[in-house]
Structure 1
Amino acid sequence: MTKTYIVDAFTMERFKGNPAAVCLIPEVLPDETYLKIAAEFNLSETAFPVPLDSSADYKTCSKFSLRWFTPKTEFPLCGHATLATSHVLFNEIGNINNEIHYETLSGTLKVRKDENGNVEMNFPKYELVELEELGPQQGYPKIAAPEFLMDVIHCVVPKTIPIVSALYAPEARFLIVIIDPNTTRSEFEALKLNSSRALELHDGSFVRDMSITLRPKNPLEQGFVDPSEEAYDYTCRCFGPWDGVNEDPATGSAQCAMAPYWAKVTGKKELYAYQAFPTRGAQFRIRLQDDRVILNGSSVTVLRGELRL
């Protein structure tokens, strides 16, 4: 039997943030088995860390392979499931190391436990390009937007909400859509994805995930402040029907594309972001450092169990 956890990531409250399953299976399994396990949990991602030192276990090892699976496919980078995995290793298992390295499809990821008990993750920064037909020039390299793209965007954003511009991260196939900065939180949370239409229009070969984002002009009046009334630098929602996840409650990997954009707009190296998934919500403390994006977040365990293989 295998120790298994469900963790709410990027939150300090249970049943908020983004849930991920973490399975401590010390040997490598076939991809088909990983997919079956992920489908059984039916969460946006299930994480599978495996110790890379054969003489060490989950408590003593400092280097792991790490893979993430949605119910339908493997994902190359997942922030919230990395945070959940690190929370399990540091706080449930009591890993003795100050820093852990994960070997992943996106390269080596470094995480450490900070002085407040949160996990700090060192992620790659995604390079961005402009989509020529969608918005004013912003100093990025340009590519032509596919003909279907505006129709895909309107599967989430109604024509009543102005679209300011759109950017694209080719490496991750992330589409970033910047909308009217006057949009209120209630208007933003009211957005609904027409997933069947999005899948009919596009097969996921160009856009894998779509993030809708804005920087509120008046965060307090628009409702984009935390319980202490600290304003968010930007807010977002993330949709991925092409990966089998209609909407993700907290998407760390998407911040690797959005945070560099908003850092350029604001001139700030440290950002406070809010992912406005209705009824849950998630907060991100983000720091830009050279070509890396440093994400800091809290997690809470909501389930401890055993998986029978």
Structure 2
Amino acid sequence: MQIPIFTVDAFTNRPFSGNPAAVCLLENDLDEDLHQKIATEMNLSETAFIRKLKPEDDFTKSSCFGLRWFTPANEVPLCGHATLASAAVLFHVQKNTNSVLTFVTLSGELKARQVKDHIVLDLPLYAAYPQELKEVEELIKAAVGDMIVQDLCYSPDTKKLLVRLSDTYERSVLEELKVSAQHFLSAEKTGKVKGLILTVKGNSSGKGHDFYSRYFAPWYGVLEDPVTGSAHAVLSSYWSEQLGKKEMLGTEFLLGNLCVCESEAASNMKTCKSSHLDSGVESDTQCRSGAGCVVKCSSERMENAAKRRLAANARERRRMQGLNTAFDRLRKVVPQWGQDKKLSKYETLQMALSYIMALTRILAEAERYSTEREWISLHCEHFHADSYHHYTAQKPAADSDPYAQRVFSYHPEHFQMAN
């Protein structure tokens, strides 16, 4: 089966910038495991799968479709920029004749409509509730160090933790903050948090932006996402209550990417408007009653910084892919491993490695004191297909160190695990 796949740069007027997403059009049902394999192969922050709900549906004429989103590591319940990308493919590439499209998703029905040269997208508005610091203290420490945290909220619907820094901090402090998102994985292993939002208050005079933000999701293999619709579904709810406003202007940073958003926090919906998304045709994006984004790269230096961050995201996704591959191979050999939900995949692999090293020691002891016998050849498989090593045990000399020659050799450089 051939599947057409489109790569869409959202929120930009130039190729190879903005927030990219892959969009797959499914004529027929796809095997469940292939969704994740394709998303891992595409290696973008999100891959969207548009499917027909009925056999007689048509991508050109029908108005209602199923939609799912996958990161390189997991399926996610909501993704704003990949939804906009999906609507852009249907409107601008498939030339869908409807003015309004409905997507059936894990977050309910989402509607996308064409308004002149823009696409307007309705997203759910998710509430955020006060969060005890002691429950996530290690994660906050890994994110902002000793910086002053003014407020802490948690959105159970999205599993996002919102961290509001002190109002004494200027936007430049958030923009220039160096965050090692890969350290979040070891700081938060309960599964409660899947995304972290850092935000500061904007201009209190009523002019300019109402709030600024950055978003991190290493649990999904994305160190930092440049333009995040699902994060603004939480931010709009929070800042609407804090500022007493229904229409706001916000900015999301990813070093070189400036995202200007005008958000309306209505009773239960948030609307997002974007310009043409296929390869970044237009640059200006306005947003009425919603969260829309405009990306402006003001200089070559800022654009290069954004590219470096996107490259870091790609490296982290590869690390997560290697971790998942190693874990799956371990489960095939010993199905019992990984059943303890309190341990992360990384901790499970570490424990397995400890058992292997202990077994090596036991076998070395047994060889030292046992009678003469032949040993079988053992095959040790590492992560990469070209990294295969064969080890054949040999009986050590009588006067040699009993642990000098091992059945297994430990070469940590072959393993690429997420910290």
1: distance between equivalents of 2:149 and 2:40? 35
- Aligned residue in 1 for 2:178: 192
Query: 1: CA distance between counterparts of 2:205 and 2:274?
Result: 22
Structure-to-structure mapping, 1:120-269, within 5 angstroms: 120-133=120-133, 146=135, 149-159=136-146, 161-203=147-189, 205-217=191-203, 231-269=208-246
Amino acid at match of 2:124: P
Per-residue deviation, residues 241-263 of structure 1 (Å, max 9, x unmatched): 11111111111011111111111
Residue 290 of structure 1 aligns with which residue? 267
Asked if the contact 1:46/1:70 (under 8 Å) is kept, the reply is: yes
- Alpha-carbon distance, 1:88 to partner: 1.1
Higher strand fraction (1 or 2): 1
What TM-score do you get using the length of structure 2 for normalisation?
A: 0.63
Report if the CA contact (8 A) 2:171-2:212 is conserved: no
| Partner residue in 2 for 1:224 | none
Give the deviation of 1:184 after TM superposition.
Answer: 3.5
Contact 2:210 2:250 (C-alpha < 8 Å) held by counterparts: yes
1:219 and 1:188 map into 2 onto residues whose CA distance is 20
What is the SS of the residue equivalent to 1:156? helix
Aligned mates of 1:219, 1:95 — CA distance in 2: 44
Query: Following TM superposition, by how much is the alpha carbon of 1:234 offset from its aligned partner in structure 2, in angstroms?
Result: 1.2
Letter in 2 for 1:66: L
> Quick check: 1:11–1:297 contact (8 Å CA) kept in 2?
no
Instruction: Give the whole-Å Cα distance in 2 for the aligned partners of 1:24 and 1:39.
Output: 17
In the alignment, the residues of structure 1 paired with residue 210 and residue 18 of structure 2 have an alpha-carbon distance, to the nearest angstrom, of 18
Q: Does 1:49 align with 2:68?
A: no
1:48-76 CA deviation, whole Å, 9 max, x = no partner?
01122322321111000000000000000
Identity rate, percent: 34
The letter for the 1-side match of 2:125 is K
**Does the aligned pair in 1 maintain the 2:161–2:197 contact within 8 Å?**
yes
User: CA offset at residue 203 of structure 1?
Assistant: 1.9
Letter in 2 for 1:64: F
AA aligned opposite 1:122: D
CA contact (8 A) 2:65 2:103 kept: yes
Instruction: Sort the Cα spacing of 1:13 and 1:57 in 2 relative to 1 into closer, same or farther, 3 A.
Output: same
Structure 2 Cα separation of the partners of residues 182 and 41 of structure 1: 41
Q: Distance between the aligned counterparts of 1:204 and 1:94, measured in 2?
A: 45
Aligned residue for 2:360? none
- Are 1:248 and 1:277, in contact at CA under 8 Å, matched by a contact in 2? yes
SS of equivalent to 1:257 = helix
How far apart are the structure 1 equivalents of 2:15 and 2:264?
25
Partner Cα distance (1:210, 1:204) in 2: 14
Shift of residue 13 of structure 1? 4.2
Distance 1:248 1:156 in 2: 15
1:216–1:234 CA contact under 8 A, matched in 2: yes
How far the C-alpha of 1:238 sits from its partner, in A, is 0.4
CA distance in 2, matches of 1:255, 1:63: 25
1:126-161: CA deviation from partner (whole Å, max 9, x where unpaired): 12210144xxxxxxxxxxx51xx12212222131x3
The yes-or-no answer on 1:89 pairing with 2:66 is no
State the secondary structure of the residue aligned to 2:7.
strand
Task: Describe the shift of the 1:239–1:299 C-alpha distance in structure 2 as closer, same or farther (beyond 3 A).
Answer: farther
Q: Which runs of 5+ in 1 are unaligned?
A: 134-144, 221-229, 304-309
Contact conserved, 1:13 with 1:300, CA < 8 A, in 2?
no
Kindly state the Cα deviation for residue 296 of structure 1 after the two structures are TM-superposed.
Answer: 1.7
Report the TM-score, using the length of structure 1 for normalisation: 0.84
Task: Please state which structure has a larger fraction of its residues in helix.
Answer: 2
Pick closer, same or farther for the CA change 1:30–1:238 going to 2, 3 Å: same
Task: Confirm or deny: 8 A CA contact 1:182 1:217 kept in the other structure.
Answer: no
Q: Is the 8 A contact 1:189 1:278 kept in 2?
A: yes
Higher relative contact order (CA 8 A, sep 6+): 1
Greater Cα offset, 274-283 or 189-198: 189-198
Tell me the secondary structure at the aligned position of residue 255 of structure 1. Answer: helix
What is the CA-CA distance between 1:92 and the residue it aligns to?
1.7
Alignment partners' CA distance in 1, 2:234 and 2:182? 26
> After the TM superposition, which residues 7-22 of structure 1 pair with which residues of structure 2 at under 5 Å, given as runs?
7-22=8-23
Aligned residue for 2:252?
275
1:219 shift after superposition: 9.2
